[in-house]
Amino acid sequence: MKELRCILLDDELPALRYLRSICEGFSNVEVVKAFNNPLRMLEEVDQLDFNVCVLDIEMPQMKGIELAGKLEGKAIIFTTAYKEFAAEAYELDAVDYIIKPIQFDRLKKAFDKSYNFLQREELPQYVQLNSNKGKILLHFAMIAFIVVSEVDKRDKRVIYDDGREIMLKNISFEQLVKLLPGDAFVRINRQTIIATRCVHAFTHNQVTLLVGSKSFVFSLNEHYRKDFLAMFGA
C-alpha cells in the first residue's frame, strides 16, 4: 500500500499528542509534522511533502473546515467532538469525519479511505455508458445524484452538478455501484445513488442534497442507512 504522509492539527496539545501516538502505530503512515496552531500550519504547508491532513474542526484561530478548503488535492480527515459538522465537512469532499475520542480501528478506516481517495488520481475519472443520446463518457466528478427513470425502471436518470441531465439506458443500480468510486458515492434507497459531497443535511430517515442553488430531499432507507452513516463517521 502507498505510504500516507500526514500532517496533524489540533489546538489542544493533549489531543494532538494522543493523535500522533495513534498515527505512529500504523506501519504505512508517516507523521510529517504536527501543529497546534492553524495559522502556523498555513505558513509552512507549501514546504511540506504530505498527502493526508488530520485536523480538528473547532479551533479559535481558524475553523478546520475553512483551512481544509485551502488544501487542494489532499485527503482530509476531520476530527471533532460534534456531529453537527458532518454534512458541511463532506461538502469539501473530506474522506472521513471522526467523532472524538479517536479509536485506532476508526482511524484505520479513515486511512483506508484516504488511500482510496489518493488512488483515484491514478484511476479513470469516467466510464463509457449507453444513454438516450448514444454512447457518453460519464464523468464521476460531475454527478450529483442518480435516480431510477419514472418511464422505464431499467433506465437511470443522472443529474449533474450544473443541473443538466442524461438518461442511462438499461443499466442496474448494482452495475452502477460497481462502476462508481465507493468513497464518493453511496446508495440511500432502492431508487437513489448520491454523491457524498452534495450532502447538505441528514436525519434518521431523510437526506438533503444541495445542488447549485437547489435542494433535493430523499428518503434514507433502513437497508442502506448503516452504509450511509458510515460514510459520515456517524
- Cβ within 8 Å of residue 109, ≥6 positions away: 96
> What is the per-residue pLDDT for 182?
85
- Give yes or no: residues 11 and 115 share one domain: yes
pTM value surpassing 0.75 = no
- Give yes or no: residues 199 and 106 share one domain: no
Domain tally, the chain: 2
- Give yes or no: residues 117 and 151 share one domain: no
The domain containing residue 88 runs over which residues? 4-122
Tell me the pairing of strands 199-202 and 192-195.
Answer: unpaired
Q: Which domain-ending residue is among 60, 87, 122?
A: 122
Which SS3 state, helix, strand or coil, does residue 92 take? coil
Q: Which domain-ending residue is among 83, 107, 122?
A: 122
Q: Which domain-ending residue is among 64, 91, 122?
A: 122
123: its cell numbers: 484511476
> What is the per-residue pLDDT for 1?
46
Rg over alpha carbons for the chain, rounded to the nearest Å, is 19
Question: pLDDT tens across 142-181, in order?
Answer: 999 999 999 999 999 999 999 999 999 999 999 999 999 8
- Give yes or no: residues 203 and 100 share one domain: no
Which uninterrupted H or E stretch holds 129? Answer: strand 126-131
- Give yes or no: residues 111 and 130 share one domain: no
Which has the higher per-residue pLDDT, 95 or 17? Answer: 17
- 195: domain CATH number is 2.40.50.1020
Least confident span in 5-14, 83-92, 212-221: 83-92
- Give yes or no: residues 199 and 211 share one domain: yes
Query: What does the pLDDT average to over 194-213?
Result: 94
- Give yes or no: residues 204 and 113 share one domain: no
> What is the per-residue pLDDT for 91?
66
Question: pLDDT tens across 33-89, in order?
Answer: 999 999 999 999 999 999 999 999 888 888 888 898 889 889 999 998 877 666 666
Mean pLDDT of the chain: 91
- Give yes or no: residues 12 and 109 share one domain: yes
- Give yes or no: residues 41 and 130 share one domain: no
